[in-house]
Each structure stands twice: as C-alpha cells, then as structure tokens.
Amino acid sequence: MTDKLEQKSANRCHGGWVKRFSHYSNTLDCEMVFGIFLPPQVEQGPVPVLWWLSGLTCNDENFMQKAGAQKMAAELGIAIVCPDTSPRGTDLPGEHDSFDFGSGAGFYLNARRAPWSQHYKMYDYVTEELPALVREHFPVSEREAISGHSMGGHGALVCALRQPGRYASVSAFAPVTNPVDCPWGEKAFSNYLGDDRSEWAEWDACELILAGKSKQGLLVDQGEADNFLDEQLKPGHLEKACHLQGVPLELRRQPGYDHSYFFIATFIDDHLKYHAEHLFAS
C-alpha cells in the first residue's frame, strides 16, 4: 500500500473540514479518490469514524454534498469517510456501458471472474486498505461504524455481517437486501463472481444472516414511495431473515419518501445519533 495522499480540495464546514484526497490503490490497481469530514474535535485528539458507502452511479462526493450530515457529525465528534463506489480509469471491456454494472457499481465485493478480478476488489479496499490509510494520516480512533445507501446499504450490511464485532454499529438507507434475488444483484454477481450461485451467498445480507454469521442489531430506513422497493430492495426479505435468526432489526418504513438524497437528508441525523450511542459507549 502506498502512503502518499494528494489533497484535491478542502472546505471549512461546521467548525471542521471536508476534504478530498487521491491515492494509488494497490488493492484495486488504479488511482482512487475518497472524501473525509473531520469534525472540530480532532484538534483535541482522535475521534471515531463512520464509513459511508454510496449507491449506484455515485462517487465520493454525493454524500458529502447532499446528505447534510456535517452539522450533526460536528456536534457529535464523528469523522465520516466516503470511498468511491468502484475502481476508476481501468477501462475494461463493457465497464462503462450500463449504470448498474462496472463504473460506479462495484457492489463492495471481491470479483473472482476475469477481467474484473484484477481491479474490482472493493470489499478489500473499504475494509482493509482504505481504513489503514485513513488511520495513518488522520486523527481517527479504532472505533468505527458503517452505513450506506442502496448498493452501499448492501455493502454496509455485508461488511458488518462478514466481520462480526468489528463495527460498533451498522445502518442502511434503502439497502439492496437480497442481491441474489434481484436484477441488479444477479447482473453484478454473475459478471463479477461467475455462474456458481452458491458463491453469491457470501455477498448477500439475507443469506449471511440466515447462515448465522452475526446477531448484531441493524437500523434500516426504507421509503415507501421508493421506485425500486419491490423489484430490487425487498426489505421484507431482510425482515424475514432477521426474524428467523433472532437478529434485532429496526426497519423504519417511511411513508412518501423515495430513493433520493432528500430521503437520506431527512433521516441522517437519526442514524448519526444511533451510531454515536454505540461509538461512545463505554
């Protein structure tokens, strides 16, 4: 892993800083960019960190610019790190042909099928390489939580379920809960992982829960006016899996809310307070 960071921008925000950095990723074999919000409390010492994983077509900037999370994060003393959603600049065949596969659609897994396996290892990037890099360069503590939206909600759930006990808390907005059983997931998994569906279960929140991987509680917000609700997101599948395995799930169905960042901005403070309760627990 290279330890060289290049700062691309820095903006003062609620007493802290929103910054963007680029670096070369050995894991993904390409140049990557991430965003970080550093609350004012970093001037006194290390603060806990919330990892935010974004959805299809997004990059590191969407959450920082649209969610309005910085004010509450500054009050609570939580850093937020936003990775990109896929490798960039690799220009693999077909990589840029559709919104739900390839560029902006890494699905936070480790690809096994060529040519994607050379670059598309977003799980290793967001759980190993990037955290090590952030801790090397910024005053953040070992305490961490994870959240995300849509494809990123899937990523947050899977990261936490695959590493029980690592994250103090996990939440999601409109997550893709059961990708082995929806068009987005089937397309991505077949291309990244191959045709053996038994291998897909390693990257599916419902399947991981049914396999008893973790009993950690989950907070999920889902808009009832979400266009992708029934075909892609299927929160009922997550609810059923958690019930069968005794996993605590707070699934908040929000009438009238869609899939957009208006939805996220409305409830992000609730999620930050939820994470703070766990991050600062003794």
Catalytic residues: 150, 226, 259
Inter-CA distances, 265 with 65, 271, 272, Å: 10, 10, 11
Q: Is the dihedral of CA 119, 123, 128, 130 positive or negative?
A: positive
SS3 assignment, position 233? helix
Note the Cα 245 to chain centre separation in Å.
23
* Start-to-end CA span in the chain (Å): 33
Apex 280 CA angle, 278 and 282, nearest 5 = 95
H helix or E strand, kind and range, residue 199: helix 197-200
